Amino acid sequence: MAQFGAPRNPVNWVSHLTAAVVSQPAKDPAVVERANLLNMAKLSIKGLIESALGYGRTLDSDYPPLQQFFVVMEHCLKHGLKGTVLRKSFLSFSRTIWDPLELVEKLCPEAEEIAASVRDLPGLRTPLGRARAWLRLSMMQKKLADYLRCLIMRRDLLSEFYENYAVMMEEEGTVIVGLLVGLNVIDANLCVKGEDLDSQVGVIDFSIYLKSDEDNHDREGRNVHISAILDQKNYVEELNRQLNGTVSSLHARIDTLEKSNAKLIEELAIAKNNIIKLQEENHQIRNDNAMIFMKAHQHLEAAKASIEAEQMYRQHARHGLNEIFTDICTHHEDTQLRQESDTDLESARVQHEIELAVKLLEKDILEKQDTLIGLKEQLEEVKAINFEMYQKMQCSEEEAKKRDVNDGQDGKSTQMSACRKPYEESDKDVLNQSRNIEISYMKAASVESAPQYKLIKDISF
């Protein structure tokens, strides 16, 4: 492939191209394509600026150099797109460029208006048509270089759409974006709404850039003058941009200073009011302190007088207490003597009562012993009577058995039962009497002895 850095003479250009192809070694096709696209972008941008300065600087959609510029930019943006299919010409691709251009509105908020306008256009049906409309609107806004610079700075995002050898991923893309800054001197008035951007075929017309020596010689003299004017214009625009930035920063600083000044004035007024209030409070506190000092002095004098009176009263009271203490000591000694005499009398009385109680207890014990002896004798008599009655009953039973054998069991049984009843009754009476005697003896022993022992216990305590 040939490069577009050709000599001005079209006759010598073919021979120069042939010599370059023969002499130069084989290069990477991607590198050659990037170099060709860069050269075409340089020629297109330079020719557009030169023709626009001679044409009147205000361009429309039918202006051929402007149309060729959009075609070249379209080919530069298409180069290296992922998933593209090559056709016969190396400058024709079937993949659209709308997908990477949509990232601009996310990276640069100023591009949101252009993207919204492109989506709202009714005549556009394909993504390629939207991309062409976006390029034309950016050209009219004079922001094409700024938008593409934002896109090139984020190669990490562009790697999703472009291959590594693409123009937008290499240094050639940065150079092209730098060349686009010169287009800001051109005023473009393009009608995007009425054009059929979906069916346009991007073909580069090389005849525009192949001129004769005479035309080039005349154009060189004019280009010197134009370049001087463009340099002056660029300098004035850059200076104006810097001045606008400084003015905006100064306005912002003035606003902040005015706000801070207003806040300081308000704080100063508040501080003055606080000082006046503090002075009034200080004066009031001083007056209160003077009054408190006077009252404290009066209270101190009254306290001194009361303390002196209380000391005199305490001295008199101490003297009286000493006298009372001596009286109490003498009275206490008398009471102790009385208590000792009373305790002696009480102990003698208790001793006498104990002796009487012991004598009574001994007497009662003797009487109880006599009664117990009598009860024992009665019990022995009852037991003897009981034994005799038992023997008589056994004898009567033996006689009854003998009579039953001789006279008949019926009659004897009746007689035996009749004779047994009085003996049984007598035995029951004797047993009851003995039980009653034992119960009475036990009650007498338990009931009568308990108070006597209790009395002895109380007297001992």
Query: For residue range 64-77, what is the model confidence (pLDDT) as tens digits?
Result: 888 888 888 888 88
Which of 126, 123, 226, 221 has the alpha carbon at shortest distance from 182?
226
Angle, alpha carbons 322-328-331 (nearest 5°): 145
Q: Is residue 134 part of a domain?
A: yes
Confidence check: pLDDT of 401 > 90: no
Beta bridge partners of 162: 81
Residue 154: both structure tokens together: 């984020």
Q: Say how far apart CA 295 and CA 216 lie, in whole Å.
A: 113
Q: Please give the pLDDT value at position 103.
A: 87
- The amino acid at 369: Q
Handedness of CA 136, 139, 145, 151 (dihedral sign): negative
Q: Is residue 164 part of a domain?
A: yes
Q: Is residue 287 part of a domain?
A: no
- The amino acid at 208: I
Give me the number of domains the chain comprises: 2
pLDDT digits (tens, 9 = 90+) for 264-314: 999 999 999 999 999 999 999 999 988 998 988 888 888 888 898 888 888
- 160's enclosing H/E stretch is none
Q: Is residue 238 part of a domain?
A: no
Tell me which of 186, 211, 236 is where a domain ends.
Answer: 211
Q: Is residue 19 part of a domain?
A: yes
Q: Say how far apart CA 150 and CA 107 lie, in whole Å.
A: 7
Q: Say how far apart CA 381 and CA 430 lie, in whole Å.
A: 10
Task: Specify the pTM.
Answer: 0.43
Q: Say how far apart CA 137 and CA 155 lie, in whole Å.
A: 24
Tell me which of 168, 185, 211 is where a domain ends.
Answer: 211
Average pLDDT over residues 330-334: 81
Q: Say how far apart CA 65 and CA 205 lie, in whole Å.
A: 9
Q: Please give the pLDDT value at position 292.
A: 92
SS3 annotation, 320-368 = HHHHHHHHHHHHHHHHHHHHHHHHHHHHHHHHHHHHHHHHHHHHHHHHH
For the domain that residue 171 is a member of, what is the CATH number? 1.20.58.900
* Burial class, 285, CB count within 10 angstroms (exposed 0-12 / middle 13-18 / buried 19+): exposed
Q: Is residue 437 part of a domain?
A: yes
Q: Is residue 386 part of a domain?
A: yes
Residue 336: both structure tokens together: 């102790």
When mean pLDDT is compared over 87-101, 148-162, 193-207, the highest value belongs to: 148-162
**Percent of the chain whose pLDDT exceeds 70:** 71
Q: Is residue 336 part of a domain?
A: no
User: Which string of DSSP letters, residue by residue, matches 255-287?
Assistant: HHHHHHHHHHHHHHHHHHHHHHHHHHHHHHHHH
Are the beta carbons of 61 and 237 closer than 8 angstroms? no
Tell me which of 143, 178, 211 is where a domain ends.
Answer: 211
* Buried-state track 365-381, b at ≥16 Cβ within 10 A, e below 16: eeeeeeeeeebeeeeee
**Percent of the chain whose pLDDT exceeds 90:** 7
Domain that holds residue 179: 10-211
Q: Say how far apart CA 256 and CA 267 lie, in whole Å.
A: 16
User: Which string of DSSP letters, residue by residue, matches 216-238?
Assistant: HHHHHHHHHHHHHHHHHHHHHHH
Longest Cα–Cα distance in the chain? 200
Which of 65, 67, 64, 90 has the alpha carbon at shortest distance from 79?
90
Q: Please give the pLDDT value at position 221.
A: 60
